[in-house]
Amino acid sequence: MSILPFDQREGFIWLDGQMLAWGDAKLHVLSHGLHYGGAVFEGERAYGGKIFKSCEHSARFQRSAEYLDFKIPYSVAELDAAKHLVLEKNGLKDAYVRPVAWRGSEMMAVAAQNATTHTAIAVWEWPSMFDMATKMKGIRLDIAEYRRPDPKTAPSLSKAAGLYMICTISKHRAERDGYADALMFDWQGRIAECTGANVFFIKDGKIHTPIADCFLDGITRQTVIGLAKARGLEVVERRIMPDELDDFSECFITGTAAEVTPVSEVRGHRYTPAAITRSLIEDFTQAVRPDSQSAAA
């Protein structure tokens, strides 16, 4: 995998309906999205040349923009086709897929009703974070200082760039202290999610996960809930308080980048990745295979 900065890589990026050389896909420094946070994005993965749940991601991409009061000028079908075109043009089968949309440079003030919406899609190699043996050891999580905001104060259900500012700060602080990531609480002090992944806990054979009403209801999260129920496992979506952290035996996180990753610690609270977590990792690995995706479709 290349270690070059992202602006120095080679390949092709789809920008506003055209396929451009990687280095030519640019935006102006006075783009509204850069200054005022008017940008949304998606994180997707392609496995064996097929993007997992591409349509669902494209639909959420559109909804995210609508929450921010702008419209992506492409249909779900057009976005799906563009993503696959970029994948093929770059000659990649297993890759990370990043659609992003932002307000342009026609206006430079808080109001931006006349700003053009720009849309880009890039892909790059990004292998799974861990092999199974390493993954089953579990990662360590810190507890973030910042909290997910009250939905009345921010468009919490949008995958909006601005909502990730506190995630970046929290992840940096966690990594400086030797953790892999940080668990975030919501504005009322209840367990919410990690900086870029949803979280699940296991107690007495049941899976518990926070209600996704002030943070993103991840597509991987939804997939894993479905896989768990298909196994006959009970999934309880509820409010989970920090004082319950010692009550659980297993913990894992889910997301496009994380896939299904076990957790061994949340700042002093210990867990042992075991059978349920392993089974869901295996089920998810099977679900994202191109032949499994085709059968599901």
**pLDDT tens for residues 153-210?**
999 999 999 999 999 999 999 999 999 999 999 999 999 999 999 999 999 999 999 9
Query: What share of the chain in percent tops pLDDT 90?
Result: 92
Fold classified for 6-124 = D-amino Acid Aminotransferase; Chain A, domain 1 (3.30.470)
The mean pLDDT of the chain is 95
| Annotation says 137 is catalytic | no
Query: Pick from 179, 181, 201, 176: which is nearest to 190 by CA?
Result: 201
- List every span in the chain annotated with CATH 3.30.470.10: 6-124
CATH fourth-level superfamily of 132-293: D-amino Acid Aminotransferase, subunit A, domain 2 (3.20.10.10)
Q: What is the pLDDT of residue 297?
A: 65
- List every span in the chain annotated with CATH 3.20.10.10: 132-293
Query: Pick from 248, 237, 250, 258: which is nearest to 195 by CA?
Result: 258
Q: What are phi and psi of 7, to 5 degrees?
A: -80, -5
Contacting residues for 213 by C-beta, under 8 A, at least 6 apart = 151, 156
pTM of the model: 0.95
Average pLDDT over residues 209-233: 98
Per annotation, catalytic residue among 50, 53, 135, 159: 159
